[in-house]
Amino acid sequence: MIYLCSSSPSRALLLEKFGVKFEQKSAYYDEEQITTSIAKDFVYTASKGKLESAIKAFGLETPLLCADTVIASSDGQILRKPKNKEDAKRILRLQSNSKISIISSVHYQSKTQGFSNISATHYLFNCFDEVDLDAYLESGLWQGKAGGCMVEGFCKKYILEVDGFESTAMGLQVEEVLPWLEV
């Protein structure tokens, strides 16, 4: 059993899919204090900060798994969770007919071992249909998602090319993490 220190339903779904026993917990970490504009540095700092907060909050009696995900647009801009529907539309339009990188960083810590990993999955998207985009925005499913992106949902039919694991794009590179888990 581990603590998944994340409120992400996608991360929970991935752990369930792979048969990992876990309990979801949240430890507060303020990502706004991160000043880097480099996507991989941002996610590493955020997931490490979440781990440090989780250790303070929960200790290490139960192993901790923390993660963070961002999207890097084709021009290198960090696309985080949209603040509102208008922000989501702006961010998703940057991804339409473009290449993006979804970058996830994970930190795992138990009493006996630690593991960290940064992985990226790269997508080339076709142009998003405006009617589909508006319906997706109205659904609210973009909320809480890095870049408002759901490669397993809205974006799936627009994928022209993919390089990497879908799990990384969903926020947790399970294939990299599983060998380290003490469950």
> pLDDT, tens digit, for every residue of 71-92?
999 999 999 999 999 999 999 9
Residue 181: its pLDDT value, please? 87
Residue 178 is predicted with a pLDDT of: 93
The pLDDT value given to residue 66 = 98
pLDDT in tens, 40-68: 999 999 999 999 999 999 999 999 999 99
Q: What is the pLDDT of residue 88?
A: 98
pLDDT at 183: 61
Structural domain boundaries enclosing 90: 2-180
DSSP E strand stretches across 6-156: 22-25, 64-72, 78-79, 99-109, 114-125
Q: What is the pLDDT of residues 94-142, one digit of tens each?
A: 999 999 999 999 999 999 999 999 999 999 999 999 999 999 999 999 9
Instruction: Please report the pLDDT score of residue 27 as a whole number.
Output: 84
Spatial distance between the Cα atoms of 22 and 146, rounded to a whole number of angstroms: 23
Confidence check: pLDDT of 182 > 80: no
**Torsion of the alpha carbons at 33, 31, 162 and 13, rounded to the nearest 10:** 170
Active site amino acids? 68
CATH assignment of the domain containing 14: 3.90.950.10
d(CA 99, CA 162): 10
Number of domains in the chain: 1
pLDDT digits (tens, 9 = 90+) for 18-39: 999 999 998 889 999 999 999 9
DSSP string, 86-124: HHHHHHHHHHTTSEEEEEEEEEEE-SS-EEEEEEEEEEE
